[in-house]
Amino acid sequence: MTKAESSKSGPYPSTYHALPSRPTLIRNAVVLDGAGKRIDDGAVLMQGGKVVAIGRNLDAPADAVVIDAKGKWVTPGIIDVHSHLGVYPSPGVRAHSDGNEITAPVTAEVWAEHSVWPQDPGFVRALAGGVTALQVLPGSANLIGGRGVTLKNVPSRTVQGMKFPDAPYGLKMACGENPKRVYGGKGRAPSTRMGNFAGYRASWIKAAAYKEKWDDYESKKASGKEAKAPSRDLEMDTLKGVLDGDILVHMHCYRADEMAQVIDMSKEFGYKVTAFHHAVEAYKIGDLLADNETCAAMWADWWGFKMEAYDGIRENIPFVHKAGACAIVHSDSEVGIQRLNQEAAKSLADAKKAGVDIPKEVAWTWLSLNPARSLGIADQTGSLEAGKNADVVLWSGDPFSSYSKAEKVYVDGALVWDMTDPAHQPVMDFELGQPGEGDAK
């Protein structure tokens, strides 16, 4: 097994190329840099696909597009760490249901990118909501559901043309009710939470042995000794990638007690849980998440739709943040992804009601820099800093207001969405000629 097969590039490398762009200066705006700072009467200069400067009274190159954004706000693009766009695309018919390989409790061998349909109209709807990047994951029917893929939210003929260059792969895992219901309903393991954990541990034991064989082979090969490569196993390739630190674990988990036990299990086998997703009870273990540098990707107010989601509170996100942990607002919804700024706004309002004062510029980290950190791409995007990708949104007003819209959206400095210009409102081929084609306003 070559390094590439479990690392960032893999055998299906990104073919993404930034769209053409012009130097652009947005000035006189309220700027939230995504890392916790606010600049009133601020400016952002983009050139060559990068953020060149952020501050006040910036000079623009002679050929730059200059936008007077007085009364408007500028932020980094929103990053959704939990999406099923492309694998559960619109229209939501059975023929398009490609997100859950419900054939075995462990299907680490499957990759979400092999199901992504780039023509999903949901990508454009998300773009109109200010989403510039997203992680598309397999579903949560399985203990280990397979690899996720991080995408740039740009129109493309292929998923490779959307793949975020050099982004690590993610591994989708799930605990709790879903896997035990799906497989217990089939009369097989797991049918209980203890069955879930036994299934995880059995797979990690196999993966550790698989890794040992490959490490021994690579060591002998490096020292010039004769060695025969072990047989490849696609399932084990992915789990070995986690143990090697190349693939990041994103785990669907609701209850605090289960999250705590999963953290213990990760220490047993020497890997790290990058983020718990949904994490309705994360507020109970914010200190534990902070101590283990594990993020919680959460909804603002979804709860009570099943027993493990019963003990949710509206202050979940701000309480996790207050505990010093990495808090993230996510969607898990083709509708919610269009309004993630409003989801963050709801959490911010609930924080204030609970006496937790969080400035708007800090709350925006829930939508950009923290998601970027959890995806291993924070060195490239997630905040407006010189040298980072120019993934930028110009909002018609305060983005924490339900009345504000993403007026212009830039990915790597290229204008990919403009609410006022149909020439920059992509329409997927699937929608052409249909009523309301491309209507995302």
Residue 309 and residue 279: Cα distance in Å, rounded?
A: 9
Phi–psi pair at 319, nearest 5 degrees: -70, -40
More reliable by pLDDT, 90 or 2: 90
Given a contact cutoff of 8 angstroms between Cβ atoms, the answer to whether 173 and 185 are in contact is no
What pLDDT, on the 0 to 100 scale, is given for residue 9? 63
pLDDT per residue over 111-155, tens digit each? 999 999 999 999 999 999 999 999 999 999 999 999 999 999 999
**What is the average pLDDT across 418-424?**
96
What pLDDT, on the 0 to 100 scale, is given for residue 30? 98
What pLDDT, on the 0 to 100 scale, is given for residue 3? 47
- Report the percentage of the chain scoring pLDDT > 70: 98
Closest to 267 in 3D by CA, of 355, 204, 319: 204
CA 41 to chain centre: 31
pLDDT per residue over 84-121, tens digit each? 999 999 988 999 899 999 999 999 999 999 999 999 99
pLDDT per residue over 351-368, tens digit each? 999 999 999 999 999 999
Domain architecture of the chain: domains with CATH: 78-380 (3.20.20.140)
Q: Look at residue 247 and tell me whether its pLDDT is greater than 90.
A: yes
The bridge status of strand 50-55 relative to strand 38-47 is: antiparallel
Phi–psi pair at 414, nearest 5 degrees: -90, 135
Residue 15 and residue 252: Cα distance in Å, rounded?
A: 30
Residue 440 banded pLDDT, cuts 50, 70, 90? confident
Q: Look at residue 4 and tell me whether its pLDDT is greater than 90.
A: no
63 torsion bin: left (phi>0), alpha (psi -120 to 50), beta (else): alpha
Closest to 245 in 3D by CA, of 221, 270, 220: 270
Closest to 46 in 3D by CA, of 70, 73, 14, 74: 74
**What is the average pLDDT across 168-180?**
98
Residue 209 and residue 82: Cα distance in Å, rounded?
A: 31
Cα three-residue angle 325-349-305, rounded to 5 degrees: 75
Task: Tell me the helix, strand and coil percentages in the chain, rounded to 5.
Answer: 30, 20, 45
Q: Look at residue 5 and tell me whether its pLDDT is greater than 70.
A: no
Residue 437 banded pLDDT, cuts 50, 70, 90? confident
Q: Look at residue 1 and tell me whether its pLDDT is greater than 50.
A: no
pLDDT per residue over 201-212, tens digit each? 999 999 999 999
Q: Look at residue 7 and tell me whether its pLDDT is greater than 80.
A: no
Which residues fall within 8 angstroms of residue 41, CB to CB, at 6 or more apart? 28, 29, 30, 56
Torsion of CA 65, 66, 67, 70, to 10 degrees: 170
What pLDDT, on the 0 to 100 scale, is given for residue 8? 56
- Report the percentage of the chain scoring pLDDT > 90: 93
More reliable by pLDDT, 64 or 433: 64
Q: Look at residue 385 and tell me whether its pLDDT is greater than 80.
A: yes
What pLDDT, on the 0 to 100 scale, is given for residue 2? 47
**What is the average pLDDT across 214-235?**
97
Given a contact cutoff of 8 angstroms between Cβ atoms, the answer to whether 270 and 243 are in contact is yes
Q: What is the mean pLDDT of the chain?
A: 96
Residue 139 and residue 101: Cα distance in Å, rounded?
A: 8
Q: What is the largest CA-CA distance in the chain?
A: 70
Given a contact cutoff of 8 angstroms between Cβ atoms, the answer to whether 249 and 15 are in contact is no
CB burial string 146-185: b at 16+ within 10 A, e below: bbbbbbbbbbbeebbbbbbbebbbbbbbbbbbbbbebbee
pTM: 0.97
Number of Cα atoms under 13 Å in the Cβ half of residue 284 = 13
What pLDDT, on the 0 to 100 scale, is given for residue 433? 86
Kindly list the distances between the CA atom of residue 394 and the CA atoms of 17, 80, 391, in Å, as whole numbers in the listed order: 23, 18, 10
Tokens of 377: 């791409």
Tokens of 23: 């130097």
What pLDDT, on the 0 to 100 scale, is given for residue 6? 47
- SS3 string, 298-350, reads ECCCCCCCCHHHCCCCCCHHHHHHHCCCCEEECCCCCCHHHHHHHHHHHHHHH
Tokens of 203: 């797979």
**What is the average pLDDT across 372-390?**
98
- The 8-class DSSP code of residue 159 comes to S
Residue 45 and residue 3: Cα distance in Å, rounded?
A: 38
